[in-house]
Structure 1
Amino acid sequence: MTRNTSYSPQAPDRASLEDSEGDLLLEFGTDWCGHCQAAQAGIARALSQHPALTHLKIEDGKGRPLGRSYSVKLWPTLILLRNGQEIARCVRPLEAADVNRLLQA
């Protein structure tokens, strides 16, 4: 699967995420965020071991209701959904091992 390199300003609605099947990784952040930029190498390394996992990079911030609906407060925040339900999250991962722990949930 091709990985997104930028955060998309077009967020899916919460209902469609809750109706999803299988595993889905949501990544909330912004392209200009230093923490988000620093985390990208580790996230990419971890995701390279999970090529079938759908990964959505969602731009977050003021006026962005999806992040608020998941109580996102810091960037990047990664949320793993299984069949539309949150099963784990990781806030400000520093290395691939942080993301790997999330993906093993």
Structure 2
Amino acid sequence: MTLARDADGPQLSRDEVDRLEGPVLLEFGASWCGHCQSLAPGLARLVDEHTEVRFIWVEDGPGRPLGRSFRVKLWPTLVFLKGGKVVEQLARPSLEQARRGFEALGEA
């Protein structure tokens, strides 16, 4: 697992994300988001179970074009990618929905 956070540094561009190889999970959210905080412990366990998936947490909000490029409207939004292509996108998922997202990624 690779854990990357872009809250304090330059944000990834959509072009950079599209060029990422292998399985990737983008989590769009905000540090103050209650829904994000509720999902975090369970999602962390899932990420730990799927070491082949690169995990990138993306601070989203006004002036953040990456979230807009994925049409993110609610937090957290999970975007599962393989070879730069969206396999599954989930807005405010339950832990079980997130688990199914990892399964879909493995089947892609």
CA drift of 1:60 comes to: 0.2
CA drift of 1:14 comes to: 0.6
Residue 101 of structure 1 corresponds to 100
The answer for unaligned runs of 5 or more in structure 2 is none
- Normalised by the length of structure 2, the TM-score is 0.86
Q: How many residues are paired up?
A: 102
- Secondary structure of 1:24 counterpart: strand
- The alignment status of 1:41 with 2:41, answered yes or no, reads yes
> Counting helix residues as a fraction of each chain, which structure ranks higher?
2
Residue 28 of structure 2 corresponds to 28
Q: Is the 8 A contact 1:27 1:78 kept in 2?
A: yes
Q: Identity percentage over the alignment?
A: 42
Residue 80 of structure 1 corresponds to 80
Q: Which amino acid aligns with 1:78?
A: L
Q: Deviations over 1:9-29 (max 9, x none)?
A: 232111111112111100000
Pairs within 5 Å for 1:7-26: 7-9=5-7, 10-26=10-26
- Normalised by the length of structure 1, the TM-score is 0.88
Q: Is the 8 A contact 2:18 2:85 kept in 1?
A: yes
Q: Distance in 2 between matches of 1:12 and 1:2?
A: 15
Q: Which amino acid aligns with 2:6?
A: S
